Amino acid sequence: MNDIIGRELETARLTEYLNSGKAELVAVYGRRRIGKTFLIKQFFNEKFTFYFSGAENASKQQQLFNFTAALNQYSGRENPVVGDWQNAFVQLEQYLKNLKTKGRKIIFIDELPWLDNAKSGFLSAFEYFWNTFASSQKDIFFVICGSATSWIMNKIIKNKGGLHNRVTRQIDLKPFTLNETEQFLKSKKIPFSRFQIAECYMILGGVPYYLEQLEKSLSLSQNIDNLFFKKNAILRDEYSKLYASLFKSPEKHRQIIEALAKKRKGLTRDELAKFSKISNGGGFTTLLEELQLCGFISINNNFATQKKLQLYQLTDFYSLFHLHFIKGKRETNSDYWSSLLDNTARKAWSGYSFELLCQAHLSQIKRRLGISGVVSYASGWRSKNSENGAQIDLIIDRNDNVINLCEMKFSTKEFIITKNYDDNLRNKRGVFIEETNTKKSVHITMTTTYGVKHNAYRNNIQSEVLLDDLFYADFK
């Protein structure tokens, strides 16, 4: 496990599950490139009783051939290639029964969704193998993995047939936090400042594979040009591959994502259906649930708990960056990103992305405010009166009778509260109190990169959170 960066919570859970003394079926899922396979291989030091991975777009016959080849390698026997999954799992069962070794038998099947082609019979065979044999063997530790999160949830975890309630553990592997990203970059000897790490996160989103492509000899801007804008850049076409790896028919998912990318403040469900040009019915609900499950969008609940005013927001950093600077653009120069340092479009994007960065590190904000132990609820709020345009993207409603209205500002130096901005803050606070009729104390909290400059208006805010505070490790 020495090569695992971060992931303290996940490795602690795997250790706990491994020592449970009973049969375990562990589902590990998460988006493409997030490090699922790496985590499992490193945790077990690749010492598996049996390991096999599905192949993308391979036929049933090819998958069965690969399965048998892997089984023969581990067993030292020459099992014949069978014609169906039922007999393939019979061969696996016989191999496990004949093992003389003591201790846990670690079985890892990676990219499980790719094995379930049309009429493959894989899922029913796997159900039968688990229910009639593996689930009763206390030494079996079976890990299944896949990027197609919606498939894993619907076909395995929420299975209403033979696998109903059979998954004993789940690990939803998320992108790195800022803290884990910093650890990862230090391990690669990349000397980015925390400001640069934050901007890097706002582009790559803490996805380990993307971070792995960074070169220590280049600046952040040069790295981004290298990854996205030079000829044959490795991440330029990642957008279409990302959604295709998660969803069988990703066109409508991308329509939703692209509609949200144009609306910084988010959209209600009705607005999103309108702008994405998708019928607002049951199918739309499924699309939204799948995107939310995969971490691409989030629902920002309205403070007033009015469901119609819930706002959907795009929360995937890579997708947001791609849609702002790559999709639909003609061929760009290889130093395109470096040339945009003072560009207004880049400044607008960075402001939005920093807000998402702060929302993704809510627990760190609560810690800085000293309310980690206080029951609280995060939400957003939009004024009923569209004319005043008052909206707050992050509200922390606390059980100690305080509400924090959080403003988030990305700046290359101390943020200056001007008279106009102070007037805007006062207006937001006043409209919020009037419309919600809250009796709680309402505090203004500024989250900035380098803090708020002390001037005549600084005293009108009640608390500050700095970029450094967002780097605190969640797991201690």
d(CA 105, CA 294): 30
156 near 163, Cβ under 8 Å? yes
What is the value of pTM for the model shown?
Answer: 0.92
- Residue 428 · residue 393 · CB < 8 Å: no
- What rounded mean pLDDT belongs to the chain? 92
Residue with tokens 């990703």: 250
- Tokens standing for 297? 């969008």
Residue 265: pLDDT band by 50, 70, 90 thresholds? confident
Give the pLDDT confidence of 270-285 residue by residue, as tens digits.
Answer: 999 999 999 999 999 9
The least confident of 3-7, 182-186, 258-262, 420-424 is 3-7
Task: Name which of 84, 177, 181, 153 is nearest 125 in CA terms.
Answer: 84
Residue 304 has a pLDDT of: 67
Q: For 415-455, what is each residue's pLDDT tens digit?
A: 999 999 999 999 999 999 999 999 999 999 999 999 999 99
Domains and CATH numbers, the chain: 8-172 (3.40.50.300), 238-325 (1.10.10.10), 370-471 (3.40.1350)
Residue 75, SS3? helix
Percent of the chain with pLDDT over 90: 77
Q: Answer whether residue 330 shows pLDDT above 80.
A: no
d(Cα 474, Cα 434) in Å, to the nearest integer? 36
**Burial 143-155, CB ≥16 within 10 A → b, else e:** bbbbbbbbbbbbb
- Which residue intervals of 99-145 are DSSP H helices? 122-132
Q: How confident is the model at residue 231 (pLDDT cuts 50, 70, 90)?
A: confident
Who wins on pLDDT, 208 or 231? 208
pLDDT of residue 119: 87
Closest CA to 209 of 176, 243, 247: 176
CA torsion sign for 290, 292, 297, 299 is positive
CA distance 162 to 117: 18
Distance in angstroms (rounded) separating the CA atoms of residues 265 and 391:
8
The pLDDT tens digits for 31-87 are: 889 999 999 999 999 999 999 999 988 999 999 999 999 999 999 999 999 999 999
For 100, phi and psi rounded to 5 degrees? -100, -10
In contact, 174 and 34? CB cutoff 8 Å: yes
Q: Which two tokens stand for residue 268?
A: 């209600």
pLDDT at residue 101 is higher than 80: yes
The residue type of 470 is L
Give the per-residue pLDDT at 300.
84
Which of 157-171, 186-200, 287-301, 409-423 has the weakest average pLDDT? 157-171
| Average pLDDT of span 325-329 | 86
Q: Tell me, what's the pLDDT at 468?
A: 97
Tokens 């904000």 map to which residue?
A: 365
Mean pLDDT, range 182-187, rounded to an integer: 96
At 103-139, the pLDDT tens digits run 999 999 999 999 998 789 999 999 999 999 999 999 9
* Residue 387 reports pLDDT greater than 90: no
Q: Is the pLDDT of residue 309 over 90?
A: no
Where residue 390 falls among pLDDT bands split at 50, 70, 90? confident
Which residue, among 230, 452, 470, has the nearest Cα to 365 in the 3D structure?
A: 470
Top-confidence range, 97-101, 162-166, 174-178: 174-178
Between 58 and 306, where is the model more confident?
58
Q: What is the pLDDT of residue 245?
A: 85
Number of C-beta neighbours around residue 473 at 10 A: 14
What confidence tier does 386 reach under pLDDT thresholds 50, 70, 90? low
Mean pLDDT, residues 211-228 taken together: 96
- pLDDT exceeding 70 applies to what percent of the chain? 96
Amino acid 40: pLDDT = 97
Tell me what pLDDT residue 476 has: 54
